[in-house]
């Protein structure tokens, strides 16, 4: 595969042409299910699709178009986001770093298995002791359910200047998958909730999964979404939940079993690219 072929295949898979763009909220949900991972906005250097670019059928879509209520895509996107809470098919998680990623339920349940709670000993990456503020946020969300950032600040913060600490605490909890972001039906803004409060059944199912199989699934699913990528990009994307040595060991096993193959003609990050068969 050449770089040009890779670009063409991503256009097809990520639906980056007007004739491939979804026409309604049902088709958007189908796309998220197929992709497994996607950003809301376009994020450069990461090899997963942008939902906004898919909706517009263009790789050059303006990331900020949804802020215009007159835009024809505005309501369709809002209806998609409201499905986070109503249908519980997909949700926005912060485990991949700075930019939240929309994941379908099959991805979520596996992320929760390896990054969800202390009780199962689920963490693969560095364990982190939560601050008093983080503990207070978790307790408040478990008691109240989905709340806005403003409601959290009013209830938990004594001074406005501490809003920076609140932001940092939410980001930290997001990387641990102790909180997730949703847009509840009838409400256009972001809200936070704990995974256990959002979908307790999925969280219970997660405890029954085998850890090694979960890691293999996430890696191969990401490779299918990206079409092809590098070992470096995989490590960067899964940095907060899969340690580098575990990533290397799993990839080597997948390659040995021919579930992942090395493309001799495609170079990414200075190395031969990886893809599924």
Q: Positive or negative, the Cα torsion across 104, 110, 142, 147?
A: negative
Supply the pLDDT for residue 117.
55
User: Is residue 242 included in any domain, yes or no?
Assistant: yes
Region 95-104 average pLDDT: 90
| 44 pLDDT more than 90 | no
Supply the pLDDT for residue 226.
95
User: Is residue 42 included in any domain, yes or no?
Assistant: no
Task: Pick 88 or 45 by higher pLDDT.
Answer: 88
Estimate to the nearest angstrom the gap between the alpha carbon of 277 and the chain centroid.
24
CA pair distance 54, 195, nearest whole angstrom: 27
User: Is residue 38 included in any domain, yes or no?
Assistant: no
CA pair distance 32, 61, nearest whole angstrom: 18
SS3 at position 11: helix
Supply the pLDDT for residue 65.
52
CATH number for the domain including 252?
1.10.10.10
Task: Pick 161 or 100 by higher pLDDT.
Answer: 100
Supply the pLDDT for residue 138.
92
| 120 pLDDT more than 50 | no
Q: Which of 16-25, 66-75, 145-154, 234-243 has the lowest mean pLDDT?
A: 66-75
Other beta carbons less than 10 A from residue 85's beta carbon: 20
Task: Pick 72 or 221 by higher pLDDT.
Answer: 221
User: Is residue 263 included in any domain, yes or no?
Assistant: yes
User: Is residue 226 included in any domain, yes or no?
Assistant: yes
* 214-264: pLDDT as tens digits: 999 999 999 999 999 999 999 999 988 888 899 999 999 999 999 999 999
pTM of the model: 0.89
> pLDDT tier at 97 (50, 70, 90 boundaries)?
confident
| 123 pLDDT more than 50 | no
Highest mean pLDDT of the ranges 62-71, 74-83, 123-132, 173-182: 173-182
User: Is residue 47 included in any domain, yes or no?
Assistant: no
SS3 at position 224: helix
> pLDDT tier at 31 (50, 70, 90 boundaries)?
very high
| 19 pLDDT more than 70 | yes
Identify the residue whose tokens are 């946020």. Answer: 137
| 59 pLDDT more than 70 | yes
* 181-210: pLDDT as tens digits: 887 655 567 889 999 999 999 989 998 899
- Check: CB of residue 175 under 8 Å from CB of residue 240: yes
User: Is residue 121 included in any domain, yes or no?
Assistant: no
- List of residues 6+ apart from 82 with CB closer than 8 A: 183, 184, 185, 186
What percent of the chain is modeled with pLDDT above 90? 47
Q: Which of 18-22, 67-71, 162-166, 213-217 has the lowest mean pLDDT?
A: 67-71
Total domains in the fold of the chain: 1
- List of residues 6+ apart from 120 with CB closer than 8 A: 113, 207
| 71 pLDDT more than 70 | no
CA angle, 182 as apex, 160 and 98 as ends, to 5°?
65
Supply the range of the domain harboring residue 225.
211-276
User: Is residue 62 included in any domain, yes or no?
Assistant: no
What are residue 217's phi and psi, to 5 degrees? Answer: -60, -45
Supply the pLDDT for residue 121.
43
The pair of structure tokens assigned to 177 is 């998958």
CA pair distance 25, 42, nearest whole angstrom: 19
SS3 at position 266: strand
Supply the pLDDT for residue 84.
76
Supply the pLDDT for residue 58.
85
């Amino acid at each position: 595969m050449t770089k040009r072929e890779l670009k063409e295949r991503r256009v097809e898979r990520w639906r980056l042409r007007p004739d491939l763009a979804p026409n309604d909220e049902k088709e958007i949900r189908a796309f998220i299910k197929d992709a497994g991972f996607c950003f809301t906005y376009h994020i450069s250097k990461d090899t997963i699709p942008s939902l906004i670019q898919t909706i517009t059928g263009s790789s050059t879509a303006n990331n900020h178009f949804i802020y215009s209520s007159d835009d024809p895509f505005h309501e369709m996107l809002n209806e998609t986001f409201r499905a986070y809470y109503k249908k519980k098919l997909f949700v926005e998680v912060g485990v991949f770093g700075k930019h939240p990623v929309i994941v379908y339920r099959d991805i979520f349940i596996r992320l929760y298995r390896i990054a969800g709670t202390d009780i199962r000993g689920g963490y693969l990456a560095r364990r982190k002791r939560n601050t008093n503020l983080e503990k207070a946020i978790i307790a408040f969300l478990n008691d109240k359910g989905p709340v806005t950032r403003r409601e959290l600040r009013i209830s938990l913060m004594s001074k406005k200047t501490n809003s920076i600490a609140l932001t940092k605490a939410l980001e930290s909890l997001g990387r641990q998958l102790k909180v997730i972001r949703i847009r509840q039906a009838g409400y256009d803004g972001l809200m936070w909730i704990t995974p256990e409060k959002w979908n307790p059944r999925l969280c219970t199912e997660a405890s029954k999964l085998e850890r090694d199989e979960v890691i293999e699934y996430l890696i191969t699913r990401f490779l299918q979404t990206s079409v092809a990528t590098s070992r470096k990009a995989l490590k960067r994307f899964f940095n907060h939940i899969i340690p580098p040595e575990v990533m290397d060991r799993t990839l080597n096993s997948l390659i040995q079993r021919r579930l992942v193959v090395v493309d001799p003609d495609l170079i990414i990050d200075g190395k031969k690219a990886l893809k599924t068969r």
